[in-house]
């Protein structure tokens, strides 16, 4: 009798543990599958993740899978209640059943299994597909109902700041499949609409101007190559900002002799205001098919130039440097030149002030 009682207790414990385990798996996989992002899962599958490939096929039938898991979950929870009630009766049985189902059948699996749902669902893929096939006559209808009720929920709209924070977190996360270059470009695109032309233009101090009367030859070619640019604004003379055209470096190749810049330049000049947005500039570049704009301020004074490369650099988040560039960022060069001029002027004023007392003393 003792052996029979011991065997009964062992069988009771095994059945109870199995029921709790099945309940936990159903709850964890069901909630985990719905927490997966379809595009994130598809991306993992495309990059060769075998587990993601298996789960992606089930994710398309997630409502039918949820219905099947819900049926099994209810059966498992009912079994737990019956088993507990067979040994303990009354309010204590209800309380103990609730604790077991809530703690071991719902909360803990949602914490653990939900974090590892791809691996767990992939390992149980044969079981889950057979379960859906077995319960298909019932769950297909339920799946359509769930799809109609849940699948048409309104999408969440995020602010620009929230999106930037999301991608900052993605870049810092070790589990993220978004490359650092991709995250950088996304942030730059989100910031693109807030940038002004004056923020990215090449300042006047480092712009190479070409006179229309300059002769085309080795000296001019060497000077233009060293500037690090491939297109140049053309002026009637360098004493006045009277723009008459645009010169492209590739138009000078093979040209020698008596020709001047005026003979080879394109006689079109496009102007933009420094306070206009980069989005406006990009649309203008694409519409006009002109790759260099002269930038002016409120007083219609020449303050710099903007190229299509300047705009593209803000989108990709990297400097576009060709083999002729001596400086990566000409805006930094212009700032350093301005700082040097300021220091020189300050030094001259300081020396003039220190010289005045000496002159008075001589008098």
Give CA–CA dist 311/285, Å, rounded: 10
Is 147 a residue whose pLDDT tops 90?
Answer: no
Tell me, yes or no, whether 191 lies in a domain. Answer: no
Q: Which residue, of 90, 123, 150, is where some domain finishes? A: 150
Tell me, yes or no, whether 338 lies in a domain. Answer: no
User: Could you tell me the residue range of the domain that residue 25 belongs to?
Assistant: 2-150
Phi then psi for residue 260, to 5 deg, are -115, 175
Choose among 22, 125, 21: nearest CA to 65. 125
pLDDT tens digits, residue range 206-226? Answer: 898 999 999 888 888 888 888
Q: How many domains does the chain have?
A: 2
pLDDT tens digits, residue range 41-57? Answer: 777 777 778 888 888 87
Tell me, yes or no, whether 305 lies in a domain. Answer: yes
The pTM is what? 0.50
Collapsed DSSP state (helix, strand, coil) of residue 243:
strand
Q: Are 6 and 130 found together in one domain?
A: yes
Phi then psi for residue 285, to 5 deg, are -60, -45
Tell me, yes or no, whether 79 lies in a domain. Answer: yes
Give CA–CA dist 147/123, Å, rounded: 26
Q: How confident is the model at residue 247 (pLDDT cuts 50, 70, 90)?
A: very high
Q: How confident is the model at residue 304 (pLDDT cuts 50, 70, 90)?
A: very high
Collapsed DSSP state (helix, strand, coil) of residue 60:
coil
Collapsed DSSP state (helix, strand, coil) of residue 327:
coil
Lowest model confidence (mean pLDDT) among 18-27, 256-265, 332-341:
332-341
Tell me, yes or no, whether 340 lies in a domain. Answer: no
pLDDT tens digits, residue range 283-293? Answer: 999 999 888 99
Tell me, yes or no, whether 31 lies in a domain. Answer: yes
Q: How confident is the model at residue 143 (pLDDT cuts 50, 70, 90)?
A: low
Is 349 a residue whose pLDDT tops 60?
Answer: no
Within 13 Å of residue 361, how many CA atoms lie on the same side as its CB?
Answer: 5
Is 243 a residue whose pLDDT tops 90?
Answer: yes
């Amino acid at each position: 009798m003792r052996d029979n009682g011991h065997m009964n207790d062992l069988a009771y414990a095994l059945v109870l543990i199995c029921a709790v385990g099945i309940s936990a798996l159903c709850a964890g996989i069901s909630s985990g599958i719905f927490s997966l992002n379809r595009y994130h899962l598809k991306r993992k599958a495309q990059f060769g993740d075998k587990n993601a490939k298996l789960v992606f096929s089930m994710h398309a039938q997630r409502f039918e899978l949820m219905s099947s898991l819900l049926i099994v979950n209810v059966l498992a929870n009912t079994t737990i209640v019956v088993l507990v009630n067979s040994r303990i009766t009354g309010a204590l049985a209800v309380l103990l059943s609730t604790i077991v189902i809530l703690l071991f059948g719902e909360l803990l699996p949602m914490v653990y299994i939900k974090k590892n749902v791809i691996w767990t669902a992939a390992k149980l893929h044969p079981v889950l597909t057979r379960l859906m096939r077995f319960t298909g006559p019932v769950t297909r209808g339920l799946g359509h109902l769930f799809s109609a009720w849940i699948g048409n929920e309104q999408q969440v709209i995020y602010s620009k700041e929230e999106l930037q924070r999301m991608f900052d977190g993605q870049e810092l996360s070790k589990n993220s499949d978004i490359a650092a270059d991709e995250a950088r470009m996304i942030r730059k695109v989100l910031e693109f609409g807030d940038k002004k032309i004056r923020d990215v233009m090449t300042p006047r101090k480092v712009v190479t101007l070409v006179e229309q009367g300059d002769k085309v030859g080795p000296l001019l070619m060497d000077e233009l190559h060293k500037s690090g640019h491939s297109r140049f604004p053309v002026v009637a003379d360098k004493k006045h900002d009277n723009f008459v055209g645009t010169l492209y470096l590739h138009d000078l190749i093979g040209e020698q002799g008596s020709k001047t810049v005026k003979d080879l330049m394109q006689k079109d000049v496009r102007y933009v205001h420094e306070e206009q947005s980069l989005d406006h500039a990009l649309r203008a570049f694409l519409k006009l098919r002109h790759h260099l704009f002269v930038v002016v301020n409120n007083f219609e004074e020449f303050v710099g130039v903007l190229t299509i490369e300047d705009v593209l650099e803000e989108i990709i988040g990297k400097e576009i440097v060709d083999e002729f560039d001596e400086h990566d960022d000409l805006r930094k060069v212009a700032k350093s030149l301005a700082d040097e001029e300021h220091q020189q002027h300050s030094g001259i004023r300081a020396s003039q002030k220190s010289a005045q007392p000496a002159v008075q003393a001589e008098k």
